[in-house]
């Protein structure tokens, strides 16, 4: 027994000596996403961070102004410093770091605009596509010009953890022939559009996990406060789908990136919350608050731009759980400051009804970029870039003209793009039977669509409109693009698609 105790003591002493030696000669390092090829936010106090021995003094010197910043590593050996960045440009910069007995340099640094792209698989989907799910225009992009100094993307590794992880495990890709193929397609097209207008490099922090629920992107204590889920490890491990697990994705993928300096967020998620539209609104609002807090934005200044969930056969009934989830997404965008949503309901081909990953990622990225350009970068006004999607908000009957319904439309300042061969627009007398509307015209001054419903005259009124079943309708309902997979073809004069809606006539009692 004494021999065993002596061996155990020697092992303990050896381990202690090794730990002391490691701490004494800790290696000076940077912490991702700070690494070669990085993009820093322009005209900002941008965070640079890394590791050294606890208490070690570290000096950081950017090449653009030669100013030296000195910082002390904390008790965990982490050092952080915010450096003043210049106006964006394509000039290659560097950052020299020294201290703790070593020195290093971050090379090929660009300064421009930095955005975080997060959500689930439609944001994660790379330019090369998924199996049997291509990205339209992929070959045109990879055969195009080298965009290495215009678009760069850091992609965080997909992972889950019960406890917060402090180290990012991704790396920066350049938008060249090799790098583009594994970039998020939506985020790449967003970045390329921003670069074309702003003429500065655009960096993307891509942080997406296929199939993730909103609850997967929230901290454990937040999910616990909802009181609706068993958060024991046994219950979570037993979940049929790993991507539905709460809080673990946040710990592994969001937590290590907290604090990196960005201009805003783009978000493509919601499919896994279909059927939970009522709880989606407060939880998504909390997610936006949490994400902003994670990146030092307590004043809600960082924009948060979202996408409608993809059109897909979710197995819904006439009410359509997917349509209700889209409605909830629009509600969040309307009620949260500096938030917006783009319409994607039209961005599918008929054969994609059973494909949750539509191919038209270029259009999604461009619509997100144009919202950012309009709202965040100031390209608004009469001759600016449009980003507001028309929507029907009220239906009114005219007892003197039973051949038409009046639909009040918001965000359609110069009228709509067609009058005939309309798809996706329907009316009902309130009896649950829906009839297509193929013809409508728009009065710009009154902001009103006049829907032709003369085809609903299914009995002979003998010239007396009061006998017409249209006049006797209990209440009229109008809906557009309402369903799991119900793409329509109504656009504003500015080329923006109508958002899905379902409005009911207000009947006086």
pLDDT, one tens digit per residue, over 129-183 is: 999 999 999 999 999 999 999 999 999 999 999 999 999 999 999 999 999 999 9
Identify whether the C-beta of residue 490 lies closer than 8 Å to the C-beta of residue 425.
Answer: yes
What's the CA gap between 230 and 245, in Å, rounded? 11
**CA dihedral of residues 34, 35, 41, 42 (deg, nearest 10):** 130
The confidence score (pLDDT) of residue 316 equals: 67
- What mean pLDDT do residues 434-455 have? 94
- For residues 36 and 108, the answer to whether their CB atoms sit within 8 Å is yes
Residue 10 has pLDDT above 70, yes or no: no
Q: Residue 21: what pLDDT?
A: 38
pLDDT per residue as tens digits for the range 209-268: 999 999 999 999 999 999 999 999 999 999 999 999 999 999 999 999 999 999 999 999
Q: What percent of the chain has pLDDT over 70?
A: 90
**pLDDT at 8 exceeding the cut of 60:** no
Question: Is 401's pLDDT higher than 70?
Answer: yes
Give the confidence band of 16 by pLDDT, cuts at 50, 70, 90.
very low
Residue 305 bridge partners (DSSP): 266, 340
Do the strands 39-41 and 102-119 form a parallel or antiparallel pair, or are they unpaired? parallel
Q: Is the pLDDT of residue 24 over 50?
A: no
Q: What is the mean pLDDT of the chain?
A: 91
- How far from chain centre, in Å, is Cα 457? 45
Measure the CA–CA gap between 418 and 491, rounded to whole angstroms: 8
Q: What is the pLDDT of residue 18?
A: 43
Q: Give just the sign of the alpha carbon dihedral 148, 151, 157, 162.
A: positive
Q: Is the pLDDT of residue 81 over 80?
A: yes
Q: Percentage of residues in the chain with pLDDT exceeding 90?
A: 85
For residue 462, the number of C-alpha atoms closer than 13 Å in the C-beta half-sphere is 1
Mean pLDDT of 32-56: 97
pLDDT at 362 over 70: yes
Q: For position 400, what pLDDT does the model report? A: 85
What is d(CA 439, CA 156) in angstroms, rounded to the nearest whole number? 49
Band (23; pLDDT cuts 50, 70, 90): very low
- Using alpha carbons, select from 38, 27, 57, 159 the residue that is nearest to residue 110: 38
The residues, any chain, with a CB within 8 Å of residue 398's CB and separated by 6 or more, are 404, 405, 406
Confidence of residue 3 (pLDDT cuts 50, 70, 90): very low
CA–CA distance, 144 with 177 (Å, rounded to integer): 9
Report d(CA 124, CA 144) in Å as an integer: 22
pTM, full prediction: 0.92
Average confidence (pLDDT) over 32-52: 97
Asked whether residue 291 carries a pLDDT value surpassing 70, the answer given is: yes
CA distances to 143, 173, 335, 348, 451 from 418, rounded to whole Å, are: 36, 43, 31, 20, 12
pLDDT at 382 over 90: no
Q: What is the pLDDT of residue 318?
A: 62
User: How far is 385 from 162, CA to CA, in rounded Å?
Assistant: 44
């Amino acid at each position: 027994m004494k021999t065993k105790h002596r061996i155990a003591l020697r092992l303990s002493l050896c381990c202690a000596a090794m730990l002391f030696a490691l701490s004494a000669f800790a290696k000076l390092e940077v912490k991702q996403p700070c690494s070669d090829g990085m993009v820093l936010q322009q005209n900002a106090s941008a965070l640079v961070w890394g590791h050294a021995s606890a208490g070690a003094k570290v000096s950081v010197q950017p090449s653009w102004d030669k100013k030296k910043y000195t910082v002390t590593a904390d008790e965990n050996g982490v050092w952080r410093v915010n450096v003043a960045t210049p106006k964006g440009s394509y000039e290659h910069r560097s950052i020299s770091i020294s201290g703790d007995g070593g020195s290093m340099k971050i090379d090929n640094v660009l300064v421009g605009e930095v955005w975080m792209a997060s959500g689930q698989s439609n944001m994660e989907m790379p330019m090369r596509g998924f199996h049997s799910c291509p990205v339209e225009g992929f070959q045109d992009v990879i055969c195009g010009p080298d965009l290495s100094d215009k678009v760069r993307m850091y992609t965080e590794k997909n992972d889950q953890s019960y406890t917060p992880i402090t180290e990012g495990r991704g790396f920066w890709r350049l938008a060249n022939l090799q790098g583009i193929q594994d970039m998020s397609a939506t985020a790449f097209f967003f970045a390329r559009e921003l670069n074309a207008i702003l003429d500065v490099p655009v960096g993307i922090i891509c942080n997406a996990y296929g199939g993730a629920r909103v609850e997967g992107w929230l901290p454990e204590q937040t999910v616990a406060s909802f009181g609706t889920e068993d958060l024991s490890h046994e219950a979570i491990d037993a979940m049929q789908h790993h991507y539905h697990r709460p809080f673990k994705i946040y710990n592994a993928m969001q937590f290590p990136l907290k604090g990196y300096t960005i201009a805003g967020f783009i978000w493509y998620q919601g499919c896994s919350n279909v059927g939970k539209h009522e709880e989606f609104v407060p939880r998504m609002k909390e997610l936006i608050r949490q994400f902003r807090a994670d990146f030092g934005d307590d004043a809600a200044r960082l924009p948060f731009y979202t996408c409608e969930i993809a059109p897909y056969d979710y197995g819904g009934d006439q009410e359509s759980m997917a349509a209700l989830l889209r409605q909830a997404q629009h509600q969040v965008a309307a009620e949260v400051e500096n938030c917006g949503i783009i319409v994607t309901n039209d961005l599918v081909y008929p054969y994609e009804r059973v494909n949750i990953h539509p191919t038209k990622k270029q259009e999604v990225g461009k619509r997100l970029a144009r919202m950012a350009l309009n709202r965040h970068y100031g390209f608004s006004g009469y001759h600016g870039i449009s980003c507001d999607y028309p929507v029907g908000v009220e239906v009114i009957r005219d007892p003197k003209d039973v051949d038409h319904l009046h639909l009040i439309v918001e965000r359609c300042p110069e009228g709509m793009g067609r009058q005939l061969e309309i798809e996706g627009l329907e009316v009902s007398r309130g009896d649950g039977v829906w009839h297509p509307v193929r013809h409508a015209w728009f009065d710009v001054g009154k902001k009103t669509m006049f829907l032709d419903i003369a085809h609903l005259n299914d009995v002979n009124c003998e010239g007396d409109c009061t006998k017409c079943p249209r006049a006797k309708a209990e209440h009229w309902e109008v809906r557009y693009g309402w369903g799991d997979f119900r793409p329509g073809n109504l656009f504003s004069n500015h080329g923006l698609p109508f958002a899905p809606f379902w409005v009911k006539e207000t009947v006086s009692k």
